[in-house]
Structure 1
Amino acid sequence: MPTPKSTRPASERLLDAAETLMRTIGLANTTTKAIAREAGCSEAALYKHYANKEELFVRVLMERTPNAGPLMAALAGGPGEGALEEALADIARHASLFYAEAMPMAASLFAEPALLTRHREGVREIGQGPHVVLDALEGRLRRELDAGRLRAGDPRAAAALLLGACFQRAFFLHFSGAEVVQPVEEFAPALARTLWAAIG
């Protein structure tokens, strides 16, 4: 039986409220005041639990999107943990789905330069940002390179190629529709196979 809203901890109610608003009206239109009101809390209570709206956004992305956890787990893997081409396909699948879910929430920021600047600064304050995924994949590939499982090359460039393709697929999915993108279960292994041919 679900816990009544009023008896759940304020931090969870605030995260629920942030997720609801960010998914329905977008990040640019979601204010801390609106989140607090939706959660049945004061704005001061919000700041007791979260540093800023950006922390709530990152928490929604990382805790409430189904592919974030598996993506970060795959990125944290090390040398010798199974076939690397398969691991790259797994990363590509989760990254494609993660970006597809995150993009609509964040897209509204790009229409308002002042809000985008404030968001960028807020995310930087908490040591987060989209580069975290790139850094993690670069680290994974560098560990594989150091273990002799990759040919000499640039792990950051390889990571950018894989994640850039996943991000582009998400963009095309939302901008042009599902009919213009390859299904993710075909796209991810094809992308991994192509990258592996270059670095494996």
Structure 2
Amino acid sequence: MNTRDRIIDAAEQVIREHGIAGATTKRIAQRADCSEALLYKHFTGKERLVLAVLLERMPALAPALARLELEAGRGDLVANLTAFALTALDFYTKAAGIASGVIGDPQLLAGFREMLATVGGGPHLPIERLASYLSEEQRLGRLDSALDSATAATLLMGACFHRANLSYFVTLPDEPARWAQDVVRAAVRR
């Protein structure tokens, strides 16, 4: 394993054990068995390191969206969207601790927002890609043309985000797969 991957793995472990506030670069470097200087050689700041953990160690939305986009016009629409919703639910569930830590630290949040703006990233992008996929399904005649694809994408992703957060506080009564299918059907009524 290369040094960069070791640092990302260490950061993920330290964040899980100590939260964002306790995940100091010193603690992460110690866990990665490297110096802080070497950590900063690979990551210009804690924001970049947190982003790397989110993008490289969490269940990835980008590959799931790419698979979904390839399925436009093919297969069962509800099944395709349900599979994607389950991936989004898994991502949001695993990323919640990191995201809440970033939100809870004003300085880290400001730096994270600035970095996202610089790289053209952000949590709105999966919603936009999902809306584009839904628009393509409309163009192909598989979804009602009256459906507002941006709203449907927002509802679907928002439901996944909300359920992920709820799961930290209560035991949810229904199976995730059944829930995802029901949410998809509600969001994209045909």
Query: Under TM normalisation by the shorter chain, which class is it?
Result: 0.7 to 0.9
- Asked if 1:186 is matched to 2:178, the reply is yes
1:148 equivalent in structure 2: 141
Within 2, Cα distance between the matches of 1:72 and 1:21?
A: 29
| Superposed displacement of residue 79, structure 1 | 1.9
Within 1, Cα distance between the matches of 2:111 and 2:98?
A: 16
2:16 equivalent in structure 1: 23
Q: In structure 2, what residue type is equivalent to 1:186? A: R
| Superposed displacement of residue 33, structure 1 | 3.2
- Asked if 1:97 is matched to 2:97, the reply is no
C-alpha distance 146-165 of structure 1, shift in aligned 2 (>3 A):
same
Q: In structure 1, what residue type is equivalent to 2:162? A: Q
1:169 equivalent in structure 2: 163
CA RMSD, Structure 1 to Structure 2 (Å) = 2.3
Matches within 5 A, 1:26-65: 26-65=19-58
Which deviates more from structure 2 when the two are superposed, residues 39-48 or residues 136-145?
Answer: 39-48
| Superposed displacement of residue 20, structure 1 | 0.7
| Selected match of 1:134 from 124, 127, 137 | 127
Q: In structure 2, what residue type is equivalent to 1:169? A: R
1:83 equivalent in structure 2: 76
C-alpha distance 137-30 of structure 1, shift in aligned 2 (>3 A):
same
Instruction: Give yes or no for contact 1:96–1:166 (8 Å, CA) kept in 2.
Output: yes
1:124-178: CA deviation from partner (whole Å, max 9, x where unpaired):
333322112212212211222233322223211110000111111111111x222
1:159 equivalent in structure 2: 153
Q: In structure 1, what residue type is equivalent to 2:178? A: E
C-alpha distance 43-75 of structure 1, shift in aligned 2 (>3 A):
farther
- Unpaired segments of 5 or more residues in structure 2? none
Provide the aligned length of Structure 1 versus Structure 2.
189
Q: State the TM-score, normalizing by the size of structure 2.
A: 0.85
Q: State the TM-score, normalizing by the size of structure 1.
A: 0.81
1:76-116: CA deviation from partner (whole Å, max 9, x where unpaired):
43422311111111111111121111102221233332332
Within 2, Cα distance between the matches of 1:87 and 1:49?
A: 37
